[in-house]
Amino acid sequence: MEDMEKIRNIKNIKKNLKEKSLKVKPIKNGTVIDHITKGKALKVYKVLNLNNNQTVTIAMNVSSKKNEKKDILKIEGIELSKEDVNKISLISPNATINIIKDGVVVKKFKVEIPDEIEGILKCTNPNCITQTENIIGKFKVEEKEPLKIRCKYCEKFLNAIEICR
């Protein structure tokens, strides 16, 4: 009996060590994008157009207290621009941005979908002027939940699925 208990204890210790070693190391300076919609971290990473100088950690399908699962993106050494935050809001409207300085969260806020979107997207309408001319895409947000935007040039509506393509 004692041997079985020792084996169980050893298995529990190994399990605890494995769980602790899988945790993502905190960053000293930079930005943590938390509560990204499950499965959207790579899309968020892609729209941020980061260069190869930043250390980036991507955690996907992580357990969360608020939601069942979430993604997390940690970017060393940068603070996101307002335009970057707006891009994130279109992909994952419930994301939270944490600004880290010297290992401490100095600023934390939820992303918000802006009322107007400029320069982030191009209209998908092949007849829209943004497709043929060098014109910045401009959209009016008609609905935030579910997300629905309208091109200011041709009036075409786009939904969240079309925006995230």
Give the annotated binding-site residues for Zn(2+).
Answer: 123, 128, 151, 154
**Contact by Cβ (8 Å): 66, 86:** no
SS3 labels along 62-93 = EECCCCCEEEEEEEECCCCCHHHHHHHHHHCC
Q: Half-sphere exposure of residue 144, counting CA atoms within 13 Å on the CB side?
A: 12
Task: Please choose, from the candidates 125, 112, 121, the residue with its C-alpha nearest in 3D space to the C-alpha of residue 155.
Answer: 125
**Contact by Cβ (8 Å): 115, 64:** no
Please enumerate, by residue number, every residue annotated as part of a binding site: 123, 128, 151, 154
Task: Please choose, from the candidates 56, 61, 93, 91, the residue with its C-alpha nearest in 3D space to the C-alpha of residue 75.
Answer: 56
What is the CB neighbour count within 10 angstroms for residue 113? 15
Task: Please choose, from the candidates 88, 86, 77, 67, the residue with its C-alpha nearest in 3D space to the C-alpha of residue 27.
Answer: 77
